[in-house]
Structure 1
Amino acid sequence: MTMFASVADFEAALSSLPKADAASIAEAAARQASLTKPAGSLGRLEDLALFFAGWQRTARPALARGRVAIFAGNHGVAARGVSAFPPEVTAQMVANFRRGGAAINALAAAAGLELEIVALELERPTADFTQGPAMTPEECLRALQAGARAAAGNIDLLVVGEMGIANSTAAAALSGASYGGSAGDWTGRGTGVDDTTLQRKIAVVSEGIARHAGHATSAFELLRRLGGREIAAIAGAVLAARQRRIPVMLDGFIACSALAPLARHAPDITAHCLAGHVSAEPGHRRLLGALGLSPLLDLGMRLGEGSGAAVAVNLVRSALAAHEGMATFEEAMVATAS
């Protein structure tokens, strides 16, 4: 059965979000308390183990199979001169991903993750959102469905990333329309634009937000009016993963912007999500705060592709290895604290 066959399906899924299993979290916490270490001494690694316990519904979670899904789409707003690169680069980079030559190929392999590339109608960019909605309802639903398919199968973790020239412009517009503030608060240099291009980009974001104010009254409308196919696909993947109780590792600003419209209407959508890192894009830290997410890493990365999230998966593997592999005080015959 196709997930999100209609807008009503999407809205129903967003209004009915499964919860983590509290009993499994409690059992995992009891195990943590019994391991040969001072209480809390592994910091956030302990939190990660409990997080996975809750979503896997077991006191001893594992990461046997993780998947990176990279969604690619082109944006009509690129014609406004908001990027340092032409739209043709999107397809060129998709080809590079498929040949195995990009950063995400190396980083996914290092983290023991399978890699799936989903190119979304690259020959047909979205419409310029300063002139009207970026997508028709049907186009947005197709993108949501493509994202949901990437969350299918027996996986323990989904990592989401993106590729799309001008998609940091769409991400800034989505974030601003979802959480307010000026366009300048959300708009950064993206691929490394100069000062003149940055000011033009801010103006385009402001124009887009104003153009759709009053019309973008739902998560779906925000996505279709200001987003892109790859951003909508990430939203679909995250929501489908939640319905399947699969944890999600988010990448940078663009990937997180896909959650902004959803979280404005259903703040708990982020409960099964981890922020892999905070990127150098200035709006990302602000957006993470709005989403209530604390990044695992702060490495100054701004590549996209799911690269920062893939690196963070190594922390998850460390957390689960310690949770599973350490001896208890009783097993090691080590005295506990008095």
Structure 2
Amino acid sequence: MAVSEANVLEALRSVIDPDLRRDIVTLGFVKNVQIEGDHVSFIVELTTPACPVKDQLKQECEERVSALEGVSSVSVEMTAQVRQRQTAPQDLIPGVKHCIAIASGKGGVGKSTVTVNLAVALAQTGARVGLMDADVYGPSIPLMLGAESERPYTQGNKIIPIERYGLRTMSLGSLLEEGQAVLWRGPMVAGTVKQLLEDVDWGELDYLLVDLPPGTGDAPMSLAQLAPLTGVVIVTTPHHVAANIAGKSVHLFRRLNAPIIGVVENMAGFVCPNCGEVSRIFSGMTGEELSQQLKVPYLGSVPLDPSVSDAGDKGVPAIISAPHRPQAESFKEIAGKLAQQASIFSMTRRDLTQLSDGSERPKFSAVD
């Protein structure tokens, strides 16, 4: 009996996206079903190129369709299209599909390092990624990307971002003279955050990662109020002090109706380069324990590795300079889970930053 497109789609209805908990046909992922004799081919278009369950879904699709009578071979092409969000007339970044803030309560936890490497990890999957350095008091992104001597140029009334390692990036540090200090009060900080969003030609981006200054001051509040945030990632280290202040950042963003995407633990454990044994150098609250306490997803941990800070000082992200070390794999896994959570947010809720009632925020379980 010859197989039909209806047979193929019916078989694929048993393939469930584990994050969205609906079948891929209903979600509109299955496209361009082609049947040539006993060979079936089709496209599965996911919501992010960084999907961590892409291989699992592909295998399930092949198994379900191969089991149909009259099918001897199956070809599945896995693609991705980050879903466009709804934009308001006053939207400062209409071409950006996901604006994600990276925050911490305490300085010195490696937030900027984590931001840079997650941005590169997302770009390596084929996503279009921007990186905005909103740490107006201590902008470090230009140094970490080896772009401290580069200056952006203007085109019309827009600033054209600097491009490094597949990222479009802009930082106040790229506009200041070397060593120049910023002596600003609150309104000037808020104005600068708005200008970095509005006056930069970010173009069409799947993800814009924003490196925030530590703490709960003007920059985090301004970003949450000005930008259509998909959500916030909290970076912490295994210290009780860092975890305590990170918790305060979570409470701030919740008060501003900004969803928390999850917690990332940096400097988690030292991996011996000789034997591979992992030793915990710090004995404070872990990122996983903090995420459980705050009831937010745990995105993963990055091991303590001297190559990470060394790479940042040399202007080459660690995920590029040392791609085979454990930290590189951690950054890739965390980037996948970050994209995963962003897709869940965009596919299951309307623009969460526009909710007036904080009780409407969805509650997401921790990522396995």
TM-score exceeds 0.5: no
Choose between structure 1 and 2: higher helix proportion.
Answer: 1
CA radius of gyration, larger in: 2
Q: Compute the TM-score of the two structures, normalised by the length of structure 2.
A: 0.29
